Amino acid sequence: MTSLTASAAEPANPLLQPGLPPFHYPPFDQIKDTHFAPAFEQSMAAELTEVEAIAGRSEPPTFENTLVALERAGQSFARVNRVFSSLSGAHSNDALRAIETAMAPKLAAQSDAIRLNGRLFARIDTLHHQRGQLGLDPESQRLLERTHIDFVRAGARLSEAEKTRLKAMNAELASLETTFKQNIQKETNASVVIVERRADLAGLPANEIATAEAAATAEKQPGKFALRLLNTSGQPALSSLENRALRERIQRASVSRSGRGGEFDNRAVVARLARLRADRAALLGYASHAAYQLEVQTAATVGAVNKLLAELAPPAVANARREAADMQAIIDREKGGFQLAAWDWDFYSEKVRRERYAFDGAQLKPYFELNRVLIDGVFHAATLLYGVTFKERRDLPVYEPSVRAFEVFDADGSPLTIFLADLFARPSKRGGAWMNTYTDQSRLLGTKPVIGNHLNIPQPAAGEPALLTFDEVTTLFHEFGHALHGMFSAVNYPRFSGTHVPRDFVEYPSQVNEMWATWPEVLKNYAKHHQTGAPMPAALLAKVEAARKFTQGFATTEYLAASLLDQAWHQLKSDQVPAADRVLAFEAAALQRAGVDFQPVPPRYRSTYFAHVFSSGYSAGYYSYLWSEVLDADSVEWFKQHGGLTRQNGDHFRRTLLSRGGSADAMELFRSFRGAEPDVKPLLKRRGLDGARGTD
């Protein structure tokens, strides 16, 4: 087996070197903040020189001297940019944020300098006209077609005056998206809720109280307790805190982030982003930003997305109202004297679970110790399904002490990838959970993937185990599904590597991987009490399964509300975009029009901290989780019908879909795996939207 070895001589700028062989692994121990600016400058200049050489060739264009040459160009810049974007999300600081702010318009200009290069596009356009006579293999044919589409959508056919206007828009958009992202992180860190008295934390588990006490000390408020916020509207502590006033305080702090004035207010940023995106779409010939974005997704049209969301919203809200009625009954029986509010939902849903299913979510956490879930759960399932094995590499440098590196080996023992597990929350990390690549797989370039998963699991107090909620367990399996998509990539061109697929398809493989979290053979291997090692009782798992549909109304409604909000912003024409002081009113009106303005269930993300759509590439695409879930639920049925967790099934999924990346049409890949068109019925059943209430 090949192993990674570092060069004895430290390069002047490690970012401009290939990295540690054979994976081009970033030498994090050598990388300093001061390396990024010169690395960007040099690598970007080199890319433009390479591209200009392609555009300026005197000989006629061929697939090799134009398309393949473009795929090879700019690899140094791509490496620098991947490392920087990963660190700016996972472990940022003031220096990196300043670089990010300065670089945002420059990166937009770099893309424009390539995509709006008239001579380069002329060569691509010529080849596109000749595509039927070039004798290309299917992946090469797709590369030509997708590259041509990329350039046209980027504005290659605009006049020079229009290109100048477009460049200015792209630069401003890039700067605004960076500002939005940084404002959220700063505001979330500043919005930590300080609690004076331990008694006010009644109901919170002892280990979480200890974590809050340590967090307050870190905030220079010893003797108090600090509850840090996650990026979503809901907050984990709301499910257990008995103090209703504190629950309300936490919820209000959460949903008002970056929308209540002050230096981190995002309302003006949201309004300007929406207007600029609408202006750009119009310049490029589209009715709206949503129409522009959806053209290259599997949904294809605004109408298709609107239809999906409109059909699911009424039954979802109806389910949520039934759930709310069940909780209100408990409040009234306890003579609470109040109407259920958003800050009560998690607390009283736990009471319903305990009453109806004799189940308390807190009963699960002792069985979900992080290391066991990762090694004996996530990795174990991948070994059973795909034959891959894992070896922790403590000799590899990492960018933060809690990050863990694993070398992954294929079934035949050959090195497959390096996987980084960055699982704990910290002030330097943005909210949410995500996967990224440091190196893309490509046969053309001879590169193997380096992949990271990033979560925001609360860091336990010193000496305490990290015990997960069931949602966190599911998220761990979900993100590793993305990682597998990148690990198993076996394509020629970096343009199609791993998760470089339509946005509304990218979540599909990761959602499929969630199924193994509760698969009996996997669950029994990792769900063991962290103190006694006793397996989770079968009766407890049965209660989990019975309770899963409860609050599906909430889960679906909060998700749909965010998706509908995303579409409301991005289906606007420029003159319809509200001013900054009307952003929150626009949001409220949009939710009301869509029929999802149910006060106890706020959107998963409000506009002012909706990073997915205003800074992370999911604009007009947040619906994609649900769109992908149609495919996911149908695929889960396929696995169950074909014997479940077997190597034969795993190899089939890998061969027909995971390994193909974006090298073929996404729905063709689905049909190749599934052997049929997708069926929506499994999703409706899973979400409790099939008209059946089920039995208690």
DSSP track, 255-301: HTTTSSSSTT--HHHHHHHHHHHHHHHHHTT-SSHHHHHHTTSSS-S
Element (H, E) at 485: helix 470-487
* 3-state SS assignment for residue 424: strand
Q: How far apart are CA 91 and CA 441, in angstroms?
A: 24
Residue 435 tokens, joined: 């996967």
Of 182, 193, 342, residue with least CA distance to 265: 182
Q: How far apart are CA 128 and CA 425, in angstroms?
A: 47
Q: Which of 187, 472, 479, 629 is catalytic?
A: 479
| 279-317 b/e (C-beta count within 10 Å ≥ 16 → b) | bbbeebebebbbbbbbeebbbeebebbbebbeebbebbb
The answer to whether the beta carbons of residues 4 and 21 sit under 8 Å apart is yes
Of 681, 678, 679, 683, residue with least CA distance to 668: 678
Q: How far apart are CA 187 and CA 407, in angstroms?
A: 36
Of 120, 97, 90, residue with least CA distance to 36: 97
Write out the E strands in 522-630.
none
Q: How far apart are CA 8 and CA 24, in angstroms?
A: 16
Residue 230 tokens, joined: 């996650």
CA atoms within a 13 Å half-sphere pointing along the CA-CB vector of 197: 5
Q: How far is CA 553 from CA 168, 475, 689, in A?
A: 44, 19, 9
Residues 6+ apart with CB under 8 A from 8: none
Q: How far is CA 612 from CA 42, 437, 554, 621, 640, in A?
A: 31, 18, 20, 9, 32
Order the strands of the 450-457 sheet from edge to edge: 389-392, 404-409, 415-424, 450-457, 434-439
β-bridge partners, 345:
none
Count how many residues are written for the chain: 696
479 annotated active-site: yes
Residues catalogued as catalytic: 479
